Chains A and B, each alone.
Chain A
Amino acid sequence: MTPKNESKITSPKIRAPQIKLLEQLCNACAVSGDEGEVRALVLEQVRPHADEVKVDALGNVLVTRKGTARGRKRLRVLLDAHMDEVGFMLTHDEGKGIFRFDTVGGLDIRQLVGKPVWVGRDHVPGVIGAKPIHLTTAKERERSIPLDTLRIDIGPGGDPKIKVGDWATFATSFTRLGPSMRGKALDDRLGVVLLIELLKHAPPNIDLLAAFTVQEEVGLRGARVAAYAFEPDIGIALDCTPALDLPIWEDDDHAPSENTSYNTRLGAGPAIYTADRATMSDPRLIRHLVETAEELDIPYQFRQPGGGGTDAGAIQLAHTGVPSISVSVPGRYLHTAASITRLSDWQHTITLIYAALSRMTPKILAQDR
């Protein structure tokens, strides 16, 4: 019997232990190419729930959990969440604890100034400082501070363990903000926790192929080889997408107008993708997700079609092609020191994905795309 509303769905829940796990994962550092810290946490979580666990050549964690339903063909469904986050790499040692650095992944340089960072695997604290306002000119303040004048400063004592080539990321500790959550790397640790929970409570009707991927932020590189290795029937990327739902500036010259380029809205539920720069979502999967949400009264929204891309873009191109889609938790200020997401959006995302997976049969792909 199909449950008629969300409360009757026996899906995994997001409660205190899951938020605790998110906190631990957000406070871990895993800049693209150096995902070891998150990988270790993921492995610890998934091992007891897996039929097979593999770490591949790039560092992806590939987990298989076979369904238990007998008699029917089980779809092989790849669920993907990327472990990596945007950050920095030290490029030159100027001595006495001061380093030049470059960015890894898409970062707005204007967001770096005056921020604390964690450097290297031991989270050595440092700061990205700025010239005192007292020593700047008005003309200077009209221009953004360029990256090549910024430095990471770990203090004049230096640290022999910190070297050029080490990674660094924003030093922002996870916090709850009422109905919301604030932290670095919520993109995509939210997806990582969802995927861990789905593995722990896998629906019996499918073979769940979980890819915790590396290097999403530098070109969807982990997902590409993960999808190749799994050769799935269906691919779903669980990610975090910008909520650009801020008010339009209003003044005498700018009459009040509606923000029509919000991408997604915080609090409006999981964001189902129809198209982005990398993927034309499979219409059968869009339909399946929307029907599931409608029937079960799960809030959802469409991510506005446009730029951007998720691992789905790499997955859909594996082998002879994989019907793929992305579902994201909306998040404000992604790729900055601190993002904000809404707890309810995250909870509705796991409910939607679990319900959609539970209702997935080979019939879904019976019609041609």
Chain B
Amino acid sequence: MSDILPFLKSIISAPGLSGHEAPVRALIEESWGPLSDELTTSRLGSLHALKRGSAPEPRPGILLAAHMDAIGLIVSAIVGDFLRLTSIGGLDDRVLPGQLVTVHGDEDLPGIIVQPPVHTLPQEARSGPVDLDYLMVDTGLPARQLSQRVKVGDLVSFAQEPLELKGETLAGHSLDNRASVAAITNCLQELQGRTHLWDVWAVATTQEETTMGGAHTSAFQLRPDLAVAIDVTFGKSPGSPEHKTFPLDGGPTLGWGPNIHPGVHKVFKALADRLEIPYKVEVIPRHSGTDAFALQVAAEGVPSMVISIPLRYMHTPVEMVALKDITRTGFLLAAFIAQLEVDFIDTLTLDGTNDSQE
């Protein structure tokens, strides 16, 4: 099993807010370059790494998508020593006061999200959680310096450093979905020692948290025969409902629902059983909240699958994953790819059933 930890720590330490993924993409390129035959960047910034299969051309291709963009904030106004904010992606305002951030001004400026003193707020905002409208960033710079160095529209990333916790877990921001980027890295590493007939497109997508633009356009451009979105799902954690969450270190979840091709699901499940890779079936009755929502309807449609890594405290700066779930995901993907026959799509039927008995 490869040690994915240093890579994961490096990519969650790099900025890459939705629509502005270049800094993290550079790190992923460095890692995927030696593991693939060809690297390109899409017009919306997604990273495409092609690892060619061994079947004669024209070869079928599988697309593995993990979004590399992160949620964060953007400067909406400058008021004296302070910056006002609006969000990029889904944030619970109640998590924000006191968070360490980096303001990407003329250079990276450290700061804090501050909850203003009660007497400075309008009456209706004085009790209970303080809305993002009233929160601000303090960079420690006085007004004159601040207005020269930061402008409206500058990005604000979480600055929480990665924390290695007990039980081979890692906590930090942007593990949604850099954990899945690491899983694809792990899959590419696994594939180095194997033959596979299919082309593999490893794609780090952009803008999943906002527009799904990356997955939508990359699937259209690459026209895969099969697509797998790798994302995170809700980990069992204090306060989260038991029936909607999955244990950390219990293996990835295999999605089941309208976004997912039943036949593909079935093959993944049988393979995980055979290889004794622990997993859970995750039923997803509507929008999967993943790139698969876009992948599935690209061009004339693509049979799609969702594999998810359980993660605690999603969309906070202290998200937590179990490293083993990441490598299990990578291993399962590699094993799936290695066993794909050239005519797999022809054998695929829509009458697969979710026969899991959990």
Contact = CB atoms under 8 A, between A and B. Distances in A.
Nearest to B232: A132
B103 to A, nearest CB: 10
Nearest to A243: B117
B136 interface: yes
B241 A336 contact: no
Interface string A242-254: 1010111101011
A128 B117 CA distance: 23
A134 B129 contact: no
Q: What's the interface size class on A, roughly?
A: 35 or more
Given A130-B313, A131-B239, A247-B79, A114 B163 contact: no
Contact of A111 (B79, B98, B122, B312): B98
Contacts of B94: 110, 113, 130, 141, 144-145
Interface stretch (A43-51, A177-185, A191-199, A209-217): A177-185
B167 A157 contact: yes
A153 B140 contact: no
B164 interface: yes
A145 B160 CA distance: 21
Interface residues of B, number: 68
Nearest to A337: B98
A172 interface: yes
Given A154-B165, A157-B167, A340 B160 contact: no
A110 B138 contact: no
Main DSSP-derived SS at the A contact region = loop
B7 interface: no
A104 B90 CA distance: 32
Contacts of A177: 109-111, 139-141
A127 to B, nearest CB: 4
A338 B122 contact: no
Interface of A: 94, 96-98, 108, 110-111, 113-116, 124-136, 141-145, 149-151, 153-159, 171-173, 175, 177-182, 242, 244, 246-249, 251, 253-254, 259, 261, 266-267, 332-333, 336-338, 340, 342
The 3 closest A-B pairs by CB, nearest first: A157-B167, A180-B140, A155-B165
Given A144-B94, A247-B120, A332-B114, 6 more contacts: A111-B98, A114-B95, A130-B316, A144-B128, A177-B141, A246-B120
Interface of B: 79-82, 90-100, 109-112, 114-117, 119-122, 125, 128-130, 134, 136, 138-142, 145, 160-161, 163-169, 171, 234, 237-241, 244, 248-249, 289, 312-318, 320, 322
15 contacts: A110-B115, A116-B160, A116-B171, A124-B166, A125-B171, A127-B171, A129-B237, A129-B238, A133-B90, A136-B92, A151-B239, A159-B166, A179-B142, A259-B119, A337-B100
